[in-house]
């Protein structure tokens, strides 16, 4: 998928982001842009969050 420049401009990763912030950012990123893979270190948590959002 191509880079969504507008999304990236308006959704910056916070400096020194916590794990929860990183998970939330990557979940939103996967839904809006998906220009790159979710890092392996947080992938299970991101996928769990995405799955829970689909059920709601």
Span 8-53, pLDDT tens digits: 999 999 999 999 999 999 999 998 987 999 999 999 999 999 999 8
Q: Give the H or E element holding residue 10.
A: helix 5-10
* 33 Rama sector, left if φ>0, alpha if ψ -120 to 50, beta otherwise: alpha
Q: Are 25 and 54 in contact (CB under 8 A)?
A: no
Domain parsing of the chain, residue ranges:
5-55
In this prediction the pTM is 0.86
């Amino acid at each position: 998928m191509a880079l969504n420049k507008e999304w990236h401009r308006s959704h910056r990763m916070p400096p020194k982001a916590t794990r929860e912030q990183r998970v939330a950012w990557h979940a939103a990123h996967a839904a809006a842009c998906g220009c790159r893979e979710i890092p392996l270190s947080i992938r299970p948590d991101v996928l769990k969050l995405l799955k829970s959002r689909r059920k709601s």
